[in-house]
Chains A and B, each alone.
Chain A
Amino acid sequence: MSARYDLYAPGNSWLHRLDPRVKLILATLAALLVLLWSSLPLLLAALALAHLLLMLARYPRGLVAGVWRALAPLLILIVVLWPIFDRRGELIVLALGPLIVTGEALLRGLATALRIAALSFTLLLWLGTTDQRSLVRSLVRLGLPFSLGMAMTIGLRFIPTFANVFQTVSEALQARGLDLPPRGLRRLRAMLPILVAALVTALRMSEQLGWTLAARGVGAPVRRTTLRDLAMRPVDWLALAAGLAAGFALLWLTLVEGLGRALR
């Protein structure tokens, strides 16, 4: 009944209260750094820092575990597949005919997996503590056209609605004898009637929704106001300045001094 469609966890920590634009900018900068790094200890530290911050923001452990579970297949794939294509390094851990696995390749695979994980969790700091409405509002304030922001809001609002429509249509047609094979292209083809009915239903809704928008004054030739606009508090500015300073310093070190570019 109550499926989760986002990773946001309500709360009132300093991370929750931080202006969403600041969070977005700093998370992007941090993500960029993590992307550039290959250093195992540095990535490990970044991952640990992200988890520490999440813990301080009282972000639920269940959701953290959920993200790990979602990422696990990809991470395992990376660690397993990496050594097959990378034969650098002296220390041979495993040699099975043409398959040679070196110690260094193993570590590189691990570092890569950590980079992906660190990237996800860095962005989780922003996503996990920003509700959908602040998310859209911050994007609009950062330059997303208002009509696209509105489309996004409607999209977010209609996710549970359309999920329900799809589920009900699927039941209704099964009750009329639609046989859904368990897997494969046959199942996909059998789903066609469900998709047709669900899409037509969604379109009918969109028509009325468009009327609702027009009748609520969308497109009025006046300057739009905002009830609760985002406002940068001094502490937001401070966080932004400190974050940017630290971020750019690290970026400079990374690009010019080669910080974190090597494995160790």
Chain B
Amino acid sequence: MQQGRAAPVRSGLSPRVIALAGVMIAVVFVATRLIQVPIPGGYVHLGDIAIYFAAFTFGPLVGAIAGALGPTLADLSSGFANYAPGTFVIHGLQGLVAGLIGWRAGLWRMALAGLVGGVILVGGYFIYDFFILRVGTGTAIADVWFNLGQAATGAIIAIPLVLAVRKAYPPIETWAARRAWQEEIR
């Protein structure tokens, strides 16, 4: 048996993870900016679903990168640059924590991750609205309402989505793992 990798110490992430993180940034961006669904009392976007998907499937690292950069780029590109710093921290944290709790996990741990992620999302934006942007009590509360919708739909849809993708495309379960090779025994 030979040792798998002969590469020297690599700086930073492996090309596979860089590519994965990059594609997930794009996925989260598109889900946030371009896929919006009307619900009673407003609309939701699919950004949180995509972040949870990244975190549950690929773990805290990819979850945090895609969570931090995807929605931040979406804010920067749509005139909501004022929210970008908050978004970077809040969604990054959401992806990180959801990945720590729900990576390759079963239904209940994913649900817990969704709950904790929801608290980060709703609480985080309230703090950002109220103390940093100082938009006023009314608007901060209105934003809580919007983010509750986001958090709830995010978790409710992301969990069946993750389960469906695992069923449809099994290699995804080990996607971000290190690839080691072996010599065949002849």
Contact = CB atoms under 8 A, between A and B. Distances in A.
Interface of A: 3-7, 31, 35, 38, 66-68, 70-71, 74, 77-78, 80-82, 84-86, 109, 112, 115-116, 119-120, 123-124, 127, 145-148, 150-159, 161-163, 166, 182-185, 187-189, 191-193, 195-196, 199-200, 202-203, 205-207, 209-214, 218-219, 221
Given A78-B136, A127-B76, A147-B11, 7 more contacts: A116-B82, A151-B13, A152-B22, A166-B35, A185-B153, A188-B153, A192-B157
B24 to A, nearest CB: 8
9 contacts: A74-B135, A119-B133, A151-B25, A154-B21, A154-B22, A183-B38, A189-B157, A199-B161, A202-B27
In the complex, the 4 A-B pairs of residues with the closest C-beta atoms, listed nearest first: A81-B138, A154-B22, A155-B25, A147-B12
Interface of B: 7-8, 10-27, 29-30, 33-35, 37-40, 44, 46, 49, 53, 65, 69-70, 73, 76-82, 84, 132-139, 142, 153, 156-157, 160-161, 164-165, 168-169, 172, 175
Q: Chain B: interface secondary structure?
A: helix
Contacts of A184: 37-40
Q: Chain A: interface secondary structure?
A: helix
A158 B23 contact: yes
B79 A154 contact: no
A213 B30 contact: no
Contact of B26 (A68, A84, A127, A154): A154
Contact of A185 (B13, B22, B24, B156): B156
A163 B30 contact: yes
Contacts of A203: 20, 23, 169, 172, 175
A210 B15 contact: yes
B136 A82 contact: yes
A227 B140 CA distance: 46
B45 to A, nearest CB: 11
B128 to A, nearest CB: 11
Contacts of B17: 210
A207 B22 contact: no
Contacts of A84: 138
A206 B13 CA distance: 14
Given A77-B142, A162-B26, A187-B37, A156 B161 contact: no
Nearest to A184: B39
